[in-house]
Amino acid sequence: MVNELRELMREASGHPPQDRSDIRALVGSGRRRLRVRRATQVGASALAAGAIGLGSMWWLNPTPPDLTAAGVPRAEGPVIDLGDARPAVEGQHYRELTSYTNEDLNADNGQYFDGVTDDGLILFRDGPRSNQLYPRFALLDPATGEKEWLPRLDTEQSQMWAAELSRERLVLLSPDATGAGGGPESALAAHVFDRSTDSWSTLQWPGLPDTDGPWGARVGPDGRLYTKVPATRTQVPEGGWPMGPDGEADDSGASGESFDLWSVSLNDPSDVRDEGLRVGSFGFDGDRLVWTDSSNGAAGMVHVRDLDDGEETSFDPRLGDRCNLLGFDVAGGRIAMTQYCGTYEGGVRDDRIQVMTTEGEEVITVQDSGVDAGDLVAGGDFLTMTAYDRATGGSYVYDFDEGRLLRLSDGHSPWAVGQGPTPGDQFLWNEPSGTKVPMFGRSGATVHLGELIR
């Protein structure tokens, strides 16, 4: 097992596959976010951390975890677990528009779906590798498979996150212009592709302080890019975090951290604005700004501000006493909050995706061990999520109107091969493929682009 791990680390360190994880989380924020992002590989050091962190030995446990027997407290309001899911049926619940398979991502980099434009084209990325020093991008038509390759974007081997994929422009964010930065605080760069002129431009803002990174930035309804500048950080208690029953540090119940909200123009590098607002997590729902007091710990209150008239309301989301807010999404009058709330007997985790309305009413909480990444799609009418436990691992979608949880796949790949914005009723998910690797699952991954049937 050790030899296999060393081999995988050597392979990962040379030309690692695409990573969508929060790099700052992996290197600086402790277990609460390392665990929630554990499905993504980021090279030798992160691979080693992820392997060592699997203290619960989930691959040896073929039965679904029993939360009640493990002593996990039940969340407030309506609650379901992954055992309530039924199989999703293609042609009845969703249509598959296209898919793409990388057979062996252990050996080399691959190709990825980085989201879908408003006019239905996939942003296709061909990652750098030994015989290709830079990533290449194309717009892929899912109906025909034809690719329109874009001019080269000179970003070295920088990690990038799609912030906007519209008919007019593509906006990709990186920690800085060359990818040399990163870490707990970093400069921010935007790479903007003008689809009318078929040209790239890169923006940095001298007046913008170092930010929390590109992963939490959002394009607002005014077309400006909003980003977080670190204000307060969670302090590790003297002596470190207590040890959980799975042999890992348990930082559930952390105090959380906060940020100052800034915005910048995506056309003018001199246009930088301190919004004068302290936030934890934030997002936009049409012309409303929604945020929490803090994140990566206790969330505090949720606030909703109408950007047209300035009217603001606040409410207590009633997260559990030990719940750390890890993920946040808002759409269609609903808020999805991904949480880690502690580890219990037998290494059973209390993971939750809690959905509320923007008025503070409980909608549903998906509570299970290993459930993660709750994202609202189709205008907020559906919730997609992933799970990593051996018995329940896979991709899921919850239909709010029908009140049903559907299971799309029986496994979820550790490689982040398909993420990013999607228009209308479209959504991305993945599943493992390729050769089975001991301890680490399969060597490849298949990304799917689907469309929900209402």
Which tokens belong to 184? 């707990």
Are 299 and 312 in contact by the 8 Å Cβ rule? The answer is no
Question: Containing H/E element for 442?
Answer: strand 441-452
When pLDDT is cut at 50, 70 and 90, the band that residue 48 belongs to is very low
CA proximity to 71, closest of 452, 315, 344 = 344
CA atoms within 13 A on the CB side of 185: 12
* The Cα angle at residue 326 between residues 325 and 330, in degrees rounded to 5: 85
Between the alpha carbon of residue 172 and those of residues 105, 114, 130, 284, 300, the distances in Å are 23, 10, 24, 18, 31
Topology of domain 2-452 in CATH is Methylamine Dehydrogenase; Chain H (2.130.10)
Eight-state DSSP code of residue 431: E
Q: What is the pLDDT of residue 134?
A: 85
Listed in sequence order, the residues at least 6 apart from 295 whose beta carbon sits closer than 8 Å to its beta carbon are 256, 257, 258, 280, 281, 325, 326, 328
What whole-number distance in Å separates Cα of residue 114 and Cα of residue 419? 5
136-148, pLDDT tens digit by residue? 999 999 999 999 9
What whole-number distance in Å separates Cα of residue 192 and Cα of residue 200? 6
Which tokens belong to 335? 């808020």
pTM: 0.86
Between the alpha carbon of residue 61 and those of residues 139, 232, 263, 438, the distances in Å are 42, 39, 47, 15
Write out the E strands in 249-309.
Answer: 258-264, 272-279, 282-285, 288-292, 302-306
Residue matched to tokens 């596959």: 17
Q: Return the amino acid letter for 89.
A: V
Lowest-confidence region among 42-46, 71-75, 197-201, 375-379: 42-46
When pLDDT is cut at 50, 70 and 90, the band that residue 1 belongs to is very low
* DSSP for 342-410, written as a single string: EE-GGG-EEEEEEEEETTS-EEEEEEETTEEEEEEEGGGTEEEEEE-STTT-EEEEEETTTTEEEE--S
Q: What percent of the chain has pLDDT over 70?
A: 83
Lowest-confidence region among 30-34, 92-96, 370-374: 30-34
Eight-state DSSP code of residue 214: G
Q: What is the pLDDT of residue 69?
A: 95
pLDDT at 44 over 60: no
Q: What is the pLDDT of residue 184?
A: 57
What whole-number distance in Å separates Cα of residue 427 and Cα of residue 285? 18
Phi, psi of 4 (to 5 degrees): -65, -40
CA proximity to 418, closest of 101, 82, 163, 157 = 101
pLDDT at 40 over 60: no
256-294, pLDDT tens digit by residue? 999 999 999 999 999 999 999 999 999 999 999 999 999
Helix count (H) and strand count (E) of the chain?
A: 5, 29
Which tokens belong to 115? 């989201």
What whole-number distance in Å separates Cα of residue 412 and Cα of residue 63? 17
Query: Higher pLDDT residue, 245 or 191?
Result: 191
Q: What is the pLDDT of residue 242?
A: 87
Domain ranges of the chain: 2-452
Look at the chain and count its residues.
454
